[in-house]
Chains A and B, each alone.
Chain A
Amino acid sequence: MKLKILTPIILLGLSLTSFGCAGEETARQVALQLRASIIDDEQIIDKTIETQTTFYEDQQKTIEKYRSEDIIFQLDAQRRKRSAEAATAMSVNPQQEARLSNLMDYLQETNDTEYELWNKLYGGEQQAREELKSKIAKLQRQKKVLTQVKDNLNQLALAPNQKKRARMLIQFSQETIAALKASR
Chain B
Amino acid sequence: MPNEAALNFITDKITGLEIIKQELSRMFLNTTDLNQADDIRRDITRLNQVLFTFESMRNSLAATANEVSPPPPARIAALTDVLRRLNSFVSGDQNIQTALNFLIQVAGVIRNV
Which residues of chain A come closer than 8 Å to B48, judged between CB atoms? 66, 69-70, 73
CB pair A55–B62 under 8 Å, yes or no, is yes
CB pair A76–B41 under 8 Å, yes or no, is yes
Q: Choose one: B34, B38, B44, B63; the contact of A55 (CB below 8 Å).
A: B63
Which residues of chain A come closer than 8 Å to B90, judged between CB atoms? none
Provide the bound-state CA to CA distance between A158 and B65, in Å: 36
Q: How far is the CB of B2 from chain A (nearest CB, A)?
A: 12
The answer to whether B91 has its CB under 8 Å from any CB of chain A is no
How many pairs, one residue from A and one from B, have CB atoms within 8 Å of each other in the complex? 38
Q: How far is the CB of B64 from chain A (nearest CB, A)?
A: 9
The answer to whether A59 has its CB under 8 Å from any CB of chain B is yes
CB pair A59–B44 under 8 Å, yes or no, is no
Q: Mark A60-97, 1 if CB is under 8 A from B, else 0.
A: 00110110011001101100100000000000000000
CB pair B45–A73 under 8 Å, yes or no, is yes
The answer to whether B15 has its CB under 8 Å from any CB of chain A is no
Q: Choose one: B38, B51, B59; the contact of A59 (CB below 8 Å).
A: B59
Q: How far is the CB of B26 from chain A (nearest CB, A)?
A: 14
The answer to whether B60 has its CB under 8 Å from any CB of chain A is yes
The answer to whether B12 has its CB under 8 Å from any CB of chain A is no
Question: How many residues in A have their beta carbons less than 8 Å from beta carbons of B?
Answer: 17
Q: How far is the CB of B67 from chain A (nearest CB, A)?
A: 15
Q: How far is the CB of A109 from chain B (nearest CB, A)?
A: 21
The answer to whether B56 has its CB under 8 Å from any CB of chain A is yes
The answer to whether A108 has its CB under 8 Å from any CB of chain B is no
The answer to whether A51 has its CB under 8 Å from any CB of chain B is yes
Which residues of chain B come closer than 8 Å to A80, judged between CB atoms? 34, 37-38
The answer to whether B23 has its CB under 8 Å from any CB of chain A is no
The residue among B56, B59, B65 with the most chain A CB atoms within 10 A of its own CB is B59
Provide the bound-state CA to CA distance between A54 and B61, in Å: 12
Which residues of chain B come closer than 8 Å to A66, judged between CB atoms? 48, 51-52, 55
B: which residues have CB within 8 A of A? 34, 37-38, 41, 44-45, 48, 51-52, 55-56, 59-60, 62-63, 65
Can you list 8 residue pairs at the A/B interface with Cβ under 8 Å? Answer: A52-B63, A63-B52, A66-B48, A66-B51, A66-B52, A70-B48, A77-B41, A80-B34
A: which residues have CB within 8 A of B? 51-52, 54-55, 58-59, 62-63, 65-66, 69-70, 73-74, 76-77, 80
Give 6 closest A-B pairs by Cβ, nearest first: A55-B63, A58-B59, A66-B52, A62-B55, A59-B59, A73-B41
